[in-house]
Chains A and B, each alone.
Chain A
Amino acid sequence: MGRAQIGEFEELVLLTVGVLYDDAYAVAIAKELEDQSGRSVAVSAVHKSLYRLEEKGMLESRLGDPESKRGGKRKRLFNITPYGKKALDDSLDLRSRLRGQIPELAFKFNS
């Protein structure tokens, strides 16, 4: 298998899981993303990415405690795995490498 493939939205979700360490569950992630990026995020999209990332082994999860604001239901809390960290690093690495290779001239805008 080659490099772990990861989509743009998945990457954002993965990062947010890291940001919200220890309290990363779907609703919180959706809200955090909305706050930080300024775009509206559907909870179903977050669900989809979370389950997918878990399947890929980049996230691991456990069930939290029941909460009354959730109608007495437990939430699923996510953590990044080492493999997830590697995927993030790889992705960041690739981006910065590519960014570094852009010649200065390319940014000389004649406007």
Chain B
Amino acid sequence: MKRPHGIPKWPYLFFKFYCKRERFEEMHGDLEEYFYERVETKGMVKARWYYLRDVLRCCQPYAWKTPSFYKNSNLIMFKNYFKTASRSALRNPLSSFINIFGLSMAIGVCVMTYSFMNQSLNTDKFHENKDKVFLTTIFADRDGETAQYGVTPVPLAEHLKTDFANIEKVCRIDDHNTVIRLNNQVFYEDIRLVDGEFLEMFTFPLKWGDKASLYDPNSIILSEEVSNKYFKTENPIGKEVLVIFKSGEKKHFEIAGVAEDFPNMANIKFDFLINYSNIEVAMADHKPADWAKFLDATLIQLNDPTSIATVSTGMDKYLKLQNEVNKDWAIQGFEFISIDELYLNSSDIQQAISYDDRRPGRVTLPFIAAFMIILACLNYVNMAINSIAKRLKEIGVRKVMGADKRRVMIQFLAENVFITFCAMIFGLFLGMTVFMPWFEGISGEQYSIELSDHLFYLFMLGLLLLTGIASGIYPAFYISRFEAVKIFKGKIKLGRKGWLTQTFLGFQLVLACITITAAVIFVQNTNYQINRSWGYNQNHLMYIHTPSKEMYDKMKVEMEKSSYLENVSGTADHIGRKSSSVVAETLDRKYEVSELKVEPIYFKTMGVEIASGREWSQDVKYGNREVVVNQTFVNQLELEEPLGFEIKIRDNDYVIVGVINDLHNQPFGNEIQPMVFSQVNDGDQTFLIANITSGYDFKAYDEIESTWDELYPEIPLVGGLQADIWDGYFNMIGNFARFNKAVATIAVALALLGLYGLMTLNISGRIKELSIRKTLGANMMHLSKIMSKQYLALTIVSICVGAPLGYFFTKFQLDMVFAYPLDMGAYRVVIPVIILVVALILVVFSQVFRVNRFNPIKGLRTE
């Protein structure tokens, strides 16, 4: 059909495109008739416009072609599958709800796990030079074990720069806690002293300002978070910041840059950056050439990452330099770790600039996600097989109409993928709105799913196909096997030899047993941890931090005046807040210990009892060389008679005069370190600790806080109630228990539903038998015996397998997270097993009651 003369091309083609072929001739004839008439009366140009208008007006459904895919018989069948799937889903709202909800819970957990894994595996990998920048780490020997540390001797950086031609850039990092005055506000802030190369090595784009300003010793660069905190949305460039260093020195800096918000995947970050040369101001005793001193990190950047080997082999000469000066802590070797690999290795490196606390999560979360998926799939399989009874006729009809085995299988698989898809959308929603925020609450970190993340779509697609097919393949096989004739004759017996469904149920029960064991033990453990003795009396105790001697003196007077406070004690360190690690030397070995410098009254204030020996003598005011140690110290040094034993700290001799029982200086997740309490020198005290009269906790602290605010309006008070110092920790372990509880609830619920479904199926298959038994006088006892017999063995086997597995799984988890877990006797599995058994019995009895009330006539009647 050629385009007639004069008719505009594009409207014509458009008309041809949409118009049904069988109506094209008559309709276009009409349009042409109008067109030629208008050419006569109105002229060519107007006629063409009218033609276009007519074409557009005719573009209505009655004229449209039927799209070719409507004619594809496969698609028509799929439409039909979809219809039957949604109808049968709506007919059994309970079971489809269980299916979809179970699957979406599992998928929600998977989404959460994905974002967690994605984030933690990609941490710090957004830096462009991640392969070229290396952190220098050292191996050193403290308390008998060689460990890897992220700190490096101070002069190393200068040497590296001059000694190796292939090192392109070197950057030192040292963190300092300072008081910052900004906009007339005063805060404690961490400042990172870095070389100007820092912003060239790491990819931290600036929102405002110039990267080169980091080379200027008078400039300071802020993170966006800090900038927002102090300046809201305003551009702070050019503003002045006063920094008061620990050394007491003050220095003004000009804000020269603000970094863009750090990605969630950043672990190495900063709040404030200033040039490293300020180290002279920050530390009064800074000696740039002293090999005995350490700084927080030394980074090097190479042009060619493979040439790191030549650097590594050339490091030996520095060992001698260092070992001569610092015999206490001799370095045994160096290793360079690229930024690319740093984060995932950082839990093996002590005192590194990168910190990884996600290792337990990386181990457990994928496990849990897989668990949930397996459970949900098994549930789906059982429910699907159960619901077949109601769809046997449909399958028979399909077979008679010519559907072969393959087609029926495809139907059920497609149905399943469709259900999984619904579950996936719901699960994605659940994951992003419930699980992820909740997990963020637990971990205190931000997680996100990037819409531009192709891997995520791939993951979801994979998950869809995997769960859809894994859960659907068996029901599809099972269903497609039936012969149409047998179906119509009513010869298909369901629920007879369901060994596979039994296996699935058994597997579900095992998983349920594992998770419920974990949940119960975790809850018990949390209570145990909360009630665990801290080793001292943490109640009715307050502390404040006084950075200078003048503050200390003034506040001590104020606190002693207070009518609510007693036993005011001044210290340089404080349990749970500050202690310094020192090296204690015996004749033959060195140990790393925590040292706390306190006054003798401190033990009384803290409610710590001296187990053996005595406090140090009160009358020797200065230069006291007596120390009190904790039990761990005694155990680690394997001292048989600790009292009178001599140790060397900082080249001074000390004698042990007392031993106290162990107490927790750190959250209970950490092991108790060997501790040494020594006498604080007068003038070195920076903490004030006091007992509060019972019942006046908040009042007393508020009083002290307002006194402080009057005296030092420029400096924020650091202090609080001792009982609050590990709130965050208890919160975290509480969340851990809640997490396990949630997982167990879902797992147990799914297993119970599975059992419920199987029993219903079994009963409907045996309804005649049961009816006859009832008419012949079977009572409830008898009925429950024959109905539960086949599940008894299964349950026993599942629990015998599940309970030990649950025990070891939980023990593994606990040992990884807690240094002092609940004692794990085998009797711990009794409570979870009882809970599970009671729940199972309830399900069985609900069915027995149903059969008991059932009228046997209904089961025996034939029509």
Contact = CB atoms under 8 A, between A and B. Distances in A.
Given A47-B58, A47-B63, A48-B62, A73 B26 contact: yes
Contacts of B348: none
A24 B577 CA distance: 99
Contact of A69 (B25, B36, B54): B36
B854 interface: no
Interface of B: 4, 23, 25-34, 36-37, 54, 57-58, 60, 62-63
A27 B30 contact: yes
B1 to A, nearest CB: 10
B116 to A, nearest CB: 58
Contacts of B63: 47
Given A43-B54, A47-B63, A48-B60, A75 B26 contact: yes
Given A44-B57, A44-B58, A47-B58, A71 B30 contact: no
Given A27-B34, A43-B54, A74 B29 contact: yes
A49 to B, nearest CB: 10
A52 interface: yes
A26 B33 CA distance: 11
B57 A73 contact: no
Contacts of B29: 67, 70-71, 73-75
Interface residues of A, number: 20
A52 to B, nearest CB: 7
Contacts of B27: 26, 47
A75 B26 CA distance: 5
A88 B31 CA distance: 29
Contacts of B58: 43-44, 47
A17 B28 CA distance: 20
B118 to A, nearest CB: 55
Given A43-B54, A44-B54, A69-B36, A75 B30 contact: yes
Contacts of B62: 47-48, 51-52
Interface in A68-89: 69-71, 73-76
A74 B32 CA distance: 11
Contacts of B4: 71
Nearest to B37: A69
Contacts, number: 57
Residue picked from A25, A47, A51, A74, most chain B C-beta under 10 Å? A47
A73 B54 contact: no
Contacts of B54: 42-44
Main secondary structure on chain A at its contact with chain B? Answer: helix
B52 to A, nearest CB: 13
7 contacts: A43-B31, A43-B34, A43-B54, A70-B29, A71-B28, A73-B25, A73-B29
Contacts of A67: 29
B57 A76 contact: no
A63 interface: yes
Contacts of B28: 71, 73
A5 B36 CA distance: 37
Contacts of B31: 43
Interface string A40-66: 001111011001100000000001000
Contacts of B32: 70-71, 73
Nearest to A68: B36
Contacts of B60: 44, 48
A69 to B, nearest CB: 6
Contacts of A47: 27, 30, 58, 62-63
Given A44-B60, A48-B62, A73-B25, A26 B30 contact: yes
Residue picked from B27, B31, B33, B37, most chain A C-beta under 10 Å? B33
B70 to A, nearest CB: 18
Contacts of A51: 23, 62
A45 B59 CA distance: 11
A73 B60 CA distance: 22
Which 9 pairs across A and B sit closest by C-beta, in order of nearness?
A73-B29, A44-B57, A70-B29, A76-B26, A71-B32, A44-B58, A71-B4, A26-B30, A70-B33
Given A43-B30, A74-B29, 9 more contacts: A25-B30, A27-B33, A44-B58, A48-B62, A51-B62, A73-B25, A73-B28, A75-B29, A75-B30
Main secondary structure on chain B at its contact with chain A? Answer: helix
A27 B37 CA distance: 11
A30 B42 CA distance: 19
A34 B99 CA distance: 62
B388 to A, nearest CB: 39
A42 B57 contact: yes
A98 B54 CA distance: 39
A92 B33 CA distance: 33
A89 B54 CA distance: 33
Nearest to B55: A44
B33 A74 contact: no
A51 B31 CA distance: 16
Residue picked from B23, B27, B60, B63, most chain A C-beta under 10 Å? B27
A70 B797 CA distance: 86
Given A44-B58, A48-B62, A71 B36 contact: yes
Contact of B25 (A25, A27, A74): A74
A48 B23 CA distance: 12
Nearest to A51: B62
Residue picked from A52, A69, A71, A76, most chain B C-beta under 10 Å? A71
Nearest to A66: B29
A63 to B, nearest CB: 7
A71 B29 CA distance: 7
Nearest to B56: A44
B57 to A, nearest CB: 4
Contacts of B37: 69
Nearest to A26: B30
A67 B23 CA distance: 17
A22 B57 CA distance: 27
A32 to B, nearest CB: 14
Contacts of B57: 42-45
A39 to B, nearest CB: 16
B509 to A, nearest CB: 59
B830 to A, nearest CB: 72
Nearest to A29: B30
Contacts of B30: 25-27, 43, 47, 70, 75
A58 to B, nearest CB: 16
B60 to A, nearest CB: 6
B26 A74 contact: yes
B42 to A, nearest CB: 14
Interface in A12-44: 25-27, 42-44
Residue picked from A45, A48, A73, most chain B C-beta under 10 Å? A73
Nearest to B53: A42
A29 B27 CA distance: 14
A63 B54 CA distance: 22
A30 to B, nearest CB: 8
Nearest to B5: A71
Given A42-B57, A48-B62, A69 B26 contact: no
B819 to A, nearest CB: 81
Nearest to B63: A47
B854 to A, nearest CB: 46
Contacts of A44: 54, 57-58, 60
Residue picked from A42, A43, A69, most chain B C-beta under 10 Å? A43
A69 B29 CA distance: 9
Contacts of A75: 26, 29-30
A35 to B, nearest CB: 15
A70 B4 CA distance: 10
Contacts of A74: 25-26, 29
B814 to A, nearest CB: 74
Nearest to B27: A47
A43 B33 CA distance: 11
B157 to A, nearest CB: 82
A51 B36 CA distance: 24
